[in-house]
């Protein structure tokens, strides 16, 4: 469209230029005519006798415009032909460019598909390399484990070289021979340690590769690994079974100590004490332990307080009932001065105000009980707080232990379980200690709170009983009835 508009603009400019030229030609044709008219008198003056020349016929304006219109039509046809040629050229160029674009797009799609295939090949190659690396590591670990498990039955000095097919075949042959020997019982002379650590010479009866018995003049019994390929007597109570095996008999039952390797010493594991368990929980374990001790002391003190407050209620009522029935408040107060405890103080406040109206006295009783409430609820809130905080501390210890475990895994990996035992011990022991402290504290806290509420009810009943007895003593005829 832009090319077409440009061609039309050029054609119109050419038409306008031609129109100007025609107008200029008309003016030029007019000027010689005028010049001829002015020159005629001058020429006629010297030659007046010459005959007049015939006048030339000028083209009319309509003929000039017809010639101009014909010329413009010719120009228009020429421009239209050129415009059609230009459009054909543009259309052909457009078609060629579109074909080139389609070809490039096809090339791009093909390149992308090839790139995707190459990426898949690279991924598969990486997986193959990773699998080969894992297989190499597995073989290396297998050969390393074989050095410890098969002991003298197989040995290979590969150095930094990867094991080959012959090495793998030799390893499996040695393993099969080791297994064939493992289900046999054989005897050989050897040395082992007694229970007191004395090394003795004797005879060792091997039960496959998983157990052994020692026979000597100084002691017999089942053997256990003592480290570095040595054996020691594990249990002297198995001496009779060892002698029976030596004589070719099969005792029933057969006590036996199974072991996997003689490289590490096996020790009898002593039972952990309380402080060892707490210490395995770390700092948080000790915090929970001391909170448990504090809570236990508070529970004991609270039991003592409530025992004293609850046991004296009936005794106080029995001591003052007679004086109240006689209306002798002074004697009743003297008796209460010798008593101690919350009940004595509440009843004393009640007796001192018996001359007031009943509603006022009941308010005084309620006020006295509220005053004794802090004494009866002593340590109750702290016990409940310890019961609530202890499991939270246990959870904190669990999170701390797991963080420590993951730190060890990040630094050393998971090859040695002993490295992970510290964090796992903290995680489990703190949770256990938190629950051990929380459950009894919550139980005793609620029981003691209920006991305190019952004591408050007993004090209120005792005060109301004193009020009723005093009211009955003031009624007419009460003395005679007594």
Query: What gap in Å lies between CA 448 and CA 300, rounded to an integer?
Result: 10
Rg over alpha carbons for the chain, rounded to the nearest Å, is 61
pLDDT at 463: 81
Angle (CA) 361-334-317 rounded to 5° is 60
pLDDT higher than threshold 60 for residue 30: no
Instruction: Identify any residues that bridge with 211 across adjacent strands, giving them in sequence order.
Output: 207
pLDDT at 326: 78
- The closest alpha carbon to 456, from 325, 329, 345, belongs to 345
**DSSP E strands: which ranges in 148-265?**
185-193, 199-207, 211-215, 221-227, 230-235
Which of 26-30, 59-63, 391-395, 473-477 is the least confident region?
A: 26-30
For the segment 409-465, what is each residue's pLDDT rounded down to a tens digit? 887 777 666 667 777 877 888 899 999 999 999 999 999 988 888 888 878 887 888
Collapse the DSSP code of 234 into the 3-class scheme (helix H, G, I; strand E, B; otherwise coil) and give the result.
strand
For the segment 239-270, what is each residue's pLDDT rounded down to a tens digit? 777 777 777 677 767 676 666 666 666 666 66
pLDDT higher than threshold 70 for residue 53: no
DSSP 20-45: HHHHHHHHHHHHHHHHHHHHHHHHHT
- The closest alpha carbon to 147, from 139, 138, 156, belongs to 156
pLDDT at 61: 83
Query: What gap in Å lies between CA 478 and CA 464, rounded to an integer?
Result: 19
pLDDT at 298: 93
DSSP 426-447: HHHHHHHHHHHHHHHHHHHHHH
Q: Which residues contact 187 (CB under 8 A, 6 or more apart)?
A: 203, 204, 205, 206, 246
Query: What gap in Å lies between CA 278 and CA 323, rounded to an integer?
Result: 59
pLDDT at 358: 80
Q: Are 203 and 188 in contact (CB under 8 A)?
A: yes
For the segment 87-117, what is each residue's pLDDT rounded down to a tens digit? 999 999 999 999 999 999 999 999 999 999 9
Q: How sure is the predictor about 32, in pLDDT bands with cuts at 50, 70 and 90?
A: very low
Every domain of the chain and the residues it spans: 1-26+62-148, 150-182, 184-267, 280-481
Burial bucket for residue 344 (CB in 10 Å: 0-12, 13-18, 19+): buried
Which of 35-39, 176-180, 298-302 is the least confident region?
A: 35-39
Q: Are 351 and 364 in contact (CB under 8 A)?
A: no
Average pLDDT score over residue span 20-31? 44
pLDDT at 161: 66
pLDDT at 43: 40
Query: What gap in Å lies between CA 30 and CA 22, rounded to an integer?
Result: 12
For the segment 150-179, what is each residue's pLDDT rounded down to a tens digit? 666 666 666 566 677 777 787 777 777 777
pLDDT at 155: 66
pLDDT at 379: 86
For the segment 132-143, what is each residue's pLDDT rounded down to a tens digit? 888 877 877 777
Cis peptide bond N-terminal to 253, omega within 30: yes
* Mean pLDDT value across the chain: 76
Query: What gap in Å lies between CA 426 and CA 476, rounded to an integer?
Result: 77
For the segment 272-297, what is each residue's pLDDT rounded down to a tens digit? 677 888 888 888 989 999 999 999 99
Q: Is the pTM of this model over 0.85?
A: no
């Amino acid at each position: 469209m832009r090319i077409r508009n440009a061609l039309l603009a050029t054609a119109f400019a050419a038409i306008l230029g031609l129109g100007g030229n025609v107008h200029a030609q008309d003016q030029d044709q007019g000027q010689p005519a005028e010049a001829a008219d002015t020159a005629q008198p001058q020429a006629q003056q010297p030659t007046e006798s010459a005959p007049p020349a015939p006048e030339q016929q000028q083209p009319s304006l309509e003929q000039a415009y017809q010639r101009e219109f014909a010329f413009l039509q010719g120009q228009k046809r020429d421009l239209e032909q050129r415009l059609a040629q230009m459009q054909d050229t543009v259309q052909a160029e457009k078609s060629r460019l579109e074909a080139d674009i389609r070809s490039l797009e096809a090339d791009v799609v093909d390149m992308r598909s090839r790139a995707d295939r190459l990426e898949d090949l690279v991924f598969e190659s990486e997986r193959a390399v990773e699998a080969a690396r894992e297989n190499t590591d597995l073989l290396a670990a297998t050969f390393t484990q074989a050095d410890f498990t098969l002991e003298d039955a197989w040995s290979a000095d590969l150095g930094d070289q990867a094991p080959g097919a012959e090495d793998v075949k030799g390893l499996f042959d040695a393993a099969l021979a080791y297994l064939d020997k493992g289900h046999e019982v054989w005897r050989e002379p050897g040395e082992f340690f007694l229970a007191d650590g004395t090394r003795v010479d004797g005879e060792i009866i091997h039960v496959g590769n998983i157990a052994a018995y020692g026979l000597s003049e100084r002691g017999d019994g089942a053997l256990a690994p003592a480290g570095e390929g040595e054996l020691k007597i594990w249990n002297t109570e198995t001496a009779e079974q060892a002698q029976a095996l030596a004589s070719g008999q099969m005792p029933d039952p057969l006590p036996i100590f199974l072991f996997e390797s003689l490289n590490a010493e096996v020790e009898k594991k002593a039972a952990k004490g309380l402080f060892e368990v707490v210490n395995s929980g770390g700092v948080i374990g000790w915090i929970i332990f001391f909170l448990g001790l504090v809570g236990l002391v508070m529970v004991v003190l609270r039991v003592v307080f409530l025992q004293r407050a609850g046991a004296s209620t009936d005794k106080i009522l029995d001591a003052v009932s007679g004086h109240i029935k006689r209306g002798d408040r002074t004697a009743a107060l003297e008796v209460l001065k010798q008593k101690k405890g919350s009940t004595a103080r509440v009843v004393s406040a009640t007796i001192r105000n018996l001359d007031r109206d009943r509603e006022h006295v009941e308010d005084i009783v309620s006020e006295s009980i509220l005053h004794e409430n802090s004494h009866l609820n002593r340590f109750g809130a702290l016990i409940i707080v310890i019961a609530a905080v202890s499991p939270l501390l246990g959870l904190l210890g669990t999170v701390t232990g797991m963080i420590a475990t993951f730190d060890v895994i990040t630094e050393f990996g998971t090859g040695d379980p002993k490295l992970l035992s510290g964090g796992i011990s903290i995680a489990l022991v703190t949770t256990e200690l938190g629950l051990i402290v929380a459950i009894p504290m919550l139980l005793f806290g609620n029981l003691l709170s209920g006991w305190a509420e019952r004591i408050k009810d007993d004090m209120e009943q005792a005060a109301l009983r004193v009020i009723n007895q005093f009211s009955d003593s003031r009624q007419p005829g009460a003395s005679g009835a007594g």
